[in-house]
Amino acid sequence: MELTVEKLTHRYGDVPVLQDINLHIPAGEILCVIGPSGCGKSTLLRMLGGLERPDAGQVLQRGSAPADCLNPLTFVFQDFALLPWRSVGGNISLVLEDHGIRGQAADTIICDVLARTKLGDFRDALPRQLSGGMKQRVAIARALAVNPAVMLLDEPLSALDAQTRELLMEDLIALWQRQPFTAVYVTHNLAEAVRLGHRIAVLSRRPGQVREVIEVDIPLSDRAPGDPHLEDLQSRLWQIMKDEAMAADQELLDA
């Protein structure tokens, strides 16, 4: 399934947040969206997933989702959004129950996604017993359980420490290589963007506009941390971002 964003514009009250955004997300590709904080990345992602209505413009989906897909557009949130009163297994079964998947069928799916995210031994643990990285792996397992056509990830690694981030990034790459999925990956971390993005969209400061869309034509498997091409690309992105970030930093919050 592919997504197209057409002339999307949005304001909260008097504050314009997104202005005339046009984007294309082809099937099987990861689009990274970067931009200074407060530029409307999360808002854009909520609109992509149908959680919020834009003032103008639209988000179009083309092509059909795989037959066994339960929830075509699936989010992974920055703060994990796990139910603290449900175990790891219970948090995953939550998104299956409404589709009438229970008992043996649910069990098969839960075991499969927990194995894919290396959580096999933690099925009965409660979220409070898990580290941040493990919680995010549970959230990713939950997203995989509905077999999404498009994954919408909102700074999924930002709440984690650098080592955990690196590990999870490798996990995400491995998952994509096993079965390429379409994804929009919002981040403010340039290193994550150059490691994971097939294309990288740079947004300006608020109101967010697309400054540039950069293609990265190195296969995901060939991108290692410290790769000179990626470093080059990263510093190019930083040049574009720097002015925006500095200007955004100087703005009064509610001016």
Partner 1 sequence: MPETARPVPFRGGGFRPVSKRGAGVVVFVLLLAVIEWGTRAGWISSLTLPRPSDVAATLVDLARSGLLWTHLAPSLTRLLVGSLLGVTAGIGVGILIGLFSYVRAGLIPLVAALFPIPKIALLPLFVIWFGIDEGSKYALIALGTFTPTVVATYGAVDNVDRTLVRMGQSFGLRWLSIVRKIVLPGALPGILSGLRVSIAIGIILLVAAEMLGAEYGIGAYILQAGSLYDLERLFAGVVILSSLGVVTSWAIGRLENWLLRWRS
Ligand X SMILES: Nc1ncnc2c1ncn2[C@@H]1O[C@H](COP(=O)(O)OP(=O)(O)O)[C@@H](O)[C@H]1O
Among 103, 121, 128, 222, binds partner 1 (CB under 8 A): 128
Q: Is 94 in the site for partner 1 (CB under 8 A)?
A: yes
Least distance between Mg ion and beta carbon 162 (Å): 20
Q: Is 69 in the site for partner 1 (CB under 8 A)?
A: no
Among 13, 14, 85, 217, binds partner 1 (CB under 8 A): 85
Q: Residue 127 CB: number of other CB atoms within 10 A?
A: 19
Q: Which of the residues 4 through 23 are near ligand X (CB under 6 A)?
A: 12, 17
Cα 44 from Cα 42, distance rounded (Å): 5
Among 5, 8, 32, 42, binds ligand X (CB under 6 A): 42
Among 18, 32, 36, 42, binds Mg ion (CB under 5 A): 42
Q: Is 68 in the site for partner 1 (CB under 8 A)?
A: no
Among 30, 32, 34, 39, binds ligand X (CB under 6 A): 39
Buried b (16+ CB within 10 A) or exposed e, 223-247: beeeeeebeebbeebeebbeebbee
Q: Please report, for residues 42, 68, 126, the alpha-carbon distance to residue 99 in angstroms, rounded to integers and kept in the order given.
A: 28, 11, 24
Closest C-alpha to 86, from 110, 104, 69, 70 = 110
Decide: 60 and 2 in contact? Cβ < 8 Å: no
Among 43, 71, 136, 187, binds ligand X (CB under 6 A): 43
Q: Is 75 in the site for partner 1 (CB under 8 A)?
A: yes
Q: Is 55 in the site for ligand X (CB under 6 A)?
A: no
Q: Is 124 in the site for partner 1 (CB under 8 A)?
A: no
Among 1, 32, 41, 151, binds ligand X (CB under 6 A): 41
Least distance between ligand X and beta carbon 55 (Å): 13
Partners of 56 in beta bridges: 9
Q: Which of the residues 197 through 216 are near ligand X (CB under 6 A)?
A: 206
Q: Is 248 in the site for partner 1 (CB under 8 A)?
A: no
Q: Residue 60 CB: number of other CB atoms within 10 A?
A: 10
Cα 148 from Cα 75, distance rounded (Å): 9
Residue 178 binds which of Mg ion, ligand X, partner 1, none (CB < 5-8 A, kind-dependent)? none
Cα 63 from Cα 162, distance rounded (Å): 37
Binding residues (CB under 8 A) for partner 1: these are: 49, 51, 70-71, 73-75, 77, 79, 81, 83-86, 94-95, 97-98, 126, 128, 142, 146
